[in-house]
Structure 1
């Protein structure tokens, strides 16, 4: 696997591994306050490094600033809001099935916004990844139930669209703003945007009542998913079309399930194994790491990059 693809894979793996940690943290800290503190922590840590290049390292055009603001709004603020509140109104099974459509939504968004070409081979790889993620979230006895609501499912769909747009806007900015500067600015903007919601939902919260080990877990998971993963993603997507990069989001549920099995003692079923296999095979096919005559999944990148430069 080439370096850009490896960066994307590691990024999404870190995001997936942070899910069990986040479940523990939000049991002690209000969810929106957790997101606000993470955004602020990453921005403060990156500020000295990101700003040392002066104005020359900042976005040079109003179009880039607009893309950056939209990246922070959709990929950080709205994604967290939609997913957190969607899970309050629908089941985890329904939410998992819906979020399995992130690669397809990313490809569609890239085609509409960046005018990237999506070949038949790439669509086949996307379908395989979606199938794998669906299998990963479908368990015996699962399915629709009384906890599923149309409003909750609609909110989770909003999270899917937000994640897809995050991939599109990072692709649009890739190569024109240094990754560390881009990560700093995105987190700083997200912290400003999230502040009203965090303040409104943190009444009565006492940080002294939170165990020390929870704060350690918060810092570690926050840096892994909010700093390292973002930098790796931005480095990778600068060289990979957004439609193909979206396949790597399949590693989020895959890594999350593995972490739940290893650290939370949850059962690993045959359906989970089948889902993981489909997800990984979809990534291999979509990135062109495996080819055979007549399959064009690995060649779609040229058309995608050309399309994005024409915007």
Structure 2
């Protein structure tokens, strides 16, 4: 179980690091074009390894194909579409606060679709993680700012809903399809779904005008956030209930803030430290890695 938790944690940390990278990328490349190229890149690189098992690596029945298609639609196409366009319209602070609701959305989706029970302990851990992520992303004077917009915030909220559904459908497929094959197939389907939109927004885009370092960032972000993170998530969620796995999405905004501190030189305040501790404490409680002594437990 510890290996599964480690896979989930690393996966969400990589996704968190890809968010500030995406904000830079979409300032040079149209969002749908960037998403399409990312899906295609991951699918091509994985194909030789993922499908060497032949038909044994494919979904077994229509239900699995449906879950795979929904996973691709919500967790990859819509998540990227909402997030990339949302980052163009609102601040990273507002986006971080909104993404703090991903664990609650994942747990809610698991309860509604998978009929997973949300116990009191898990509910408390989710609440603590959400509080921590909100604190982590708040700045002096509040989260609102001149760069925020209702449209941008609504788009990021759409990404939150999509990510919550992604966790649910990934749980349905966990263990039924090899992780590499699942990641490859999901990217193939996502590329097919995104292609019409990417072609529609391709007009006027000049790849030669994009700085070389942006292309390097694009490739690195695609390989880590789009490939390695998905493989790690699929391996982990095959052994962990979706509502508990959702707690690890708290590392998305946590990693984003740490990246801003380390690479962009932003200040790390006491509010950030408190928020990060709440996130990690909530994850530890939800996974059972940390329990109160019995003498402190009511009853």
The two structures have a TM-score, normalised by structure 1, of 0.90
1:130-149 aligned at under 5 Å gives the runs 130-144=130-144, 148-149=148-149
Q: Which runs of 5+ in 2 are unaligned?
A: none
Tell me, in whole angstroms, the C-alpha distance in 2 between the residues paired with 1:290 and 1:92.
Answer: 31
Tell me, in whole angstroms, the C-alpha distance in 2 between the residues paired with 1:257 and 1:206.
Answer: 32
Tell me, in whole angstroms, the C-alpha distance in 1 between the residues paired with 2:287 and 2:85.
Answer: 34
Q: 1:119 to 1:272 in 2, by over 3 A?
A: same
Alignment partner, residue 38 of structure 1? 38
**Alpha-carbon shift at residue 268 of structure 1 (Å):** 1.4
1:273-284 aligned at under 5 Å gives the runs 273-284=273-284
The two structures have a TM-score, normalised by structure 2, of 0.93
Q: 1:90 to 1:26 in 2, by over 3 A?
A: closer
Alignment partner, residue 305 of structure 1? none
Q: Tell me the matched-pair count.
A: 295
For the 8 Å contact 2:8–2:237, the answer to whether it is kept is yes
Tell me, in whole angstroms, the C-alpha distance in 2 between the residues paired with 1:101 and 1:293.
Answer: 29
Alignment partner, residue 227 of structure 2? 227
CA offsets, 1:48-104, max 9 Å, x none? 111111111100110000000000000011112222333444444433222111101
CA RMSD after TM alignment: 1.8
For the 8 Å contact 1:93–1:142, the answer to whether it is kept is no
Alignment partner, residue 247 of structure 2? 247
Partner secondary structure for residue 29 of structure 2: coil
For the 8 Å contact 1:14–1:225, the answer to whether it is kept is yes
Alignment partner, residue 124 of structure 1? 124
In the alignment, structure 1 residue 181 sits paired with structure 2 residue 193: no
Alignment partner, residue 269 of structure 1? 269
CA offsets, 1:266-291, max 9 Å, x none? 12111111111100111111110011
Alignment partner, residue 290 of structure 1? 290
Tell me, in whole angstroms, the C-alpha distance in 2 between the residues paired with 1:105 and 1:164.
Answer: 5
Q: Which runs of 5+ in 1 are unaligned?
A: 296-311
Q: 1:217 to 1:83 in 2, by over 3 A?
A: closer
For the 8 Å contact 2:99–2:253, the answer to whether it is kept is no
Alignment partner, residue 156 of structure 1? 156
CA offsets, 1:234-291, max 9 Å, x none? 0000000000000000111111111111111112111111111100111111110011
Alignment partner, residue 75 of structure 2? 75
Alignment partner, residue 208 of structure 2? 208
In the alignment, structure 1 residue 57 sits paired with structure 2 residue 65: no
**Alpha-carbon shift at residue 209 of structure 1 (Å):** 2.0
Partner secondary structure for residue 116 of structure 1: coil
